[in-house]
A and B are shown apart, each in its own frame.
Chain A
Amino acid sequence: MESIDKLNAFFEYNPVRVQDAKKAGKKVVGTYCLYSPYEIAIAAGGIPVSLCGTRNDSIPAAESELPRTLCPLIKSSYGFLLNDSCPYLAASDIIIADTTCDGKKKMFELMAQKVGMIILQLPHNQNPEVGLPYWTNQFEILADRLEEEFDTVISEEKLRDAITLMNDERVALKRLMDTTMYIPSPLKGTQLLEVVFKSGFLPDKKTGISLLHEAAEELENLGKQGVSPYSQDTPRILLTGVPVGLGCHKVITLLEECGASLVCLDTCGGYKKTALMVDPGSPPDKKALLAALAERYLSIPCSVMSPNPNRYSTLARLVKEFSADGVLDLTWQGCHTYNVEAFSIKKYVQDQLSLPYLQLETDYSEGDTEQLRVRIEAFLEIVKAGK
């Protein structure tokens, strides 16, 4: 696919572009979580990039300080710092992190001894009276800190522009991800992941956005014509659960090898990222804009929230929109929040959505590939029988 290749070729130069932007006086803001507001970083003249560790090779280094039983995402992220092996981390002028799960926030304490960080105290409750005022205050603190760090002023106008830019990016990315709604889907799961993952490092958002639209348009045409690597009968799978990126995507590769079409990523890089918009028009001033942003970010349906009702309603909606035939729930070993929540998600998917469900608990290593394959094959047999 021409436009997808073009997009990937553009992504290739992301690290170089980050360096160029830095030379031109831009600041790089590293983030580790979807709860970190990109808009505020952009309004402060920063380029936000995701630093979430998705590769196994940095884990051994991390295990010299962190417990082996910890979630691989946390170990991988920390290992990149110890090994100094991530160009985006090296380029970061400041890092924003959130107190999400226990493992991550304790790792951030170690990290903060080595690099400059702003740690946002994320409330674990989405109640508008309890969690939201607290979170809004965190965003105000963040805006002040970034103004100070970068010696700049975050004006109302800059904030509005940043909100519009991020909305545009979400719309573009969502449009591209929506093309898998066609039956059969024009895009393979691994291609979907690659695009979605790499778009998390876009320094030049404007060009990125137009390329995403271009790719979406090509895919829409293919979808309409029924051009696809799959057939009408290919099982359509929705992936939910922990964040997945390039390097820890063995389950997505296995799904493909076992003959399934991954149609929807209900994960941090995917629909959790694009689902909610912020209205740049109506809030009257900067304070109100920050509050609107806080509201948007706090509604992200991650398992660190307690309770986490939006995860269920999101699943129900996505399953319908994407005509999913089964739900695969991926949980990393050592991730208590997603692993515990899997029990309720399973019940919900089987009883309320009447779909086959499989939970896979694994890490970033390749050692259990064959064991995972057996489960995926058996799961797909159930899915096909129910189709």
Chain B
Amino acid sequence: MIVMGIDIGSVAAKAVVLDASGNTVLSRVMIPTGWDHRRALTDITDLATSTAGISSGDIHTRVLTGYGRVAGKDDMPVVSEIACHAKGAHFLFPEAGSVIDIGGQDSKAICLGPDGAVTDFAMNDKCAAGTGRFVSMVATLLGHNLDAFAKLAEKGNPLPINSMCAVFAESEIVGLLAKGHDPADIAAGVCHSIASRTAGLASRLGFKAQLCVFSGGLAGNPVISTSLETHLSKPVIPAPFPQFVGALGAAILASQQ
């Protein structure tokens, strides 16, 4: 049985095509969402099927999630991002007890029960300083893309970033640069700051001592994941293809429909 999970985020739309009989991923695609969510839904579906080398008739079920989920609510089952991230993380690491996802516009902490069911969750979508947007902003300020920024942070000694708000943090960083601080130290400081904020979100949930899966675009940044480990005092594993965990979870839910 071939199924598809679609995650229309505020920035990017992602889709995963899964052959549920052997649990193999046939395609994994991502496009910018743009302003038209219906259009994004059609485009991502077409791209995912053509990349998988199948036709749309081969798809048994689709499940939709993400910010733009209303766009397809009449055509297919819609599930929350929280449930999809939980399912996706559980599929990748069945022993995991929790998930941390830092996306472009929000961050979430999720507690997992048996079979990857959600038992509790917390979200931050109000304060940009706790989301990937803050990191992208600082990377741009330092003249780097996210990969180069991660490499830079690895070389630095974290400087404390005190501002609680992304806008103030930006001026604080400009000030630190003007004082001649090493950009690597600033980059490391920013990574630590976002890790401690996110761990704070998780701390209200009482994460169990099991493995925590780290998803979202920043999961590839080793400074953030190590710092999360320190704050949470438990192993944190970056998910492979971390931006697709939600879409993967949606695909798994599609196979169970």
Contacts and interface: CB of A to CB of B under 8 A. Distances in A.
Chain A interface: which size bin? 10 to 19
A381 B82 contact: yes
Contact of B67 (A343, A370, A375): A370
Contact of B123 (A350, A374, A385): A374
B67 A368 contact: no
A378 B80 contact: yes
A366 to B, nearest CB: 15
A368 B83 CA distance: 20
Contacts, number: 35
Interface in B82-125: 82-83, 106, 117-121, 123, 125
Nearest to B83: A381
A382 interface: yes
A377 B80 contact: yes
Interface string A354-387: 0000000000000010110011011001100100
Contacts of B120: 350, 382
B179 interface: no
Contacts of B79: 381
Contacts of A378: 80-83, 118, 121
A371 B126 CA distance: 9
A343 B204 CA distance: 8
Given A371-B125, A374-B123, A385 B80 contact: no
Chain B interface: which size bin? 10 to 19
A323 B7 CA distance: 35
A349 to B, nearest CB: 11
Nearest to A380: B80
Contact of B117 (A350, A371, A385): A385
Nearest to A362: B126
Contact of A368 (B82, B119, B126): B126
Contacts of B83: 378, 381
A381 B81 contact: no
Interface in B41-100: 67, 79-83
A368 B126 CA distance: 9
Nearest to B110: A378
Contacts of B126: 368, 371
A382 B81 CA distance: 13
A347 to B, nearest CB: 9
B118 A381 contact: yes
B14 to A, nearest CB: 17
Interface string B150-162: 0000000000000
Interface in A269-297: none
A378 B101 CA distance: 15
A374 B125 CA distance: 11
A374 B82 contact: yes
A381 B80 contact: yes
A334 to B, nearest CB: 14
Interface in B157-194: none
A374 B80 contact: yes
A378 B65 CA distance: 11
B27 to A, nearest CB: 27
A280 to B, nearest CB: 46
Contacts of A343: 204
B28 to A, nearest CB: 24
- Among B80, B106, B118, B126, chain A packs the most CB atoms within 10 A around the CB of B80
A377 B123 CA distance: 13
A207 B112 CA distance: 53
Contacts of A370: 67
8 contacts: A370-B67, A374-B123, A375-B123, A377-B80, A381-B83, A382-B118, A382-B120, A385-B118
Given A375-B123, A385-B118, 10 more contacts: A343-B204, A370-B67, A371-B123, A371-B125, A374-B82, A374-B123, A374-B125, A381-B79, A382-B117, A382-B118
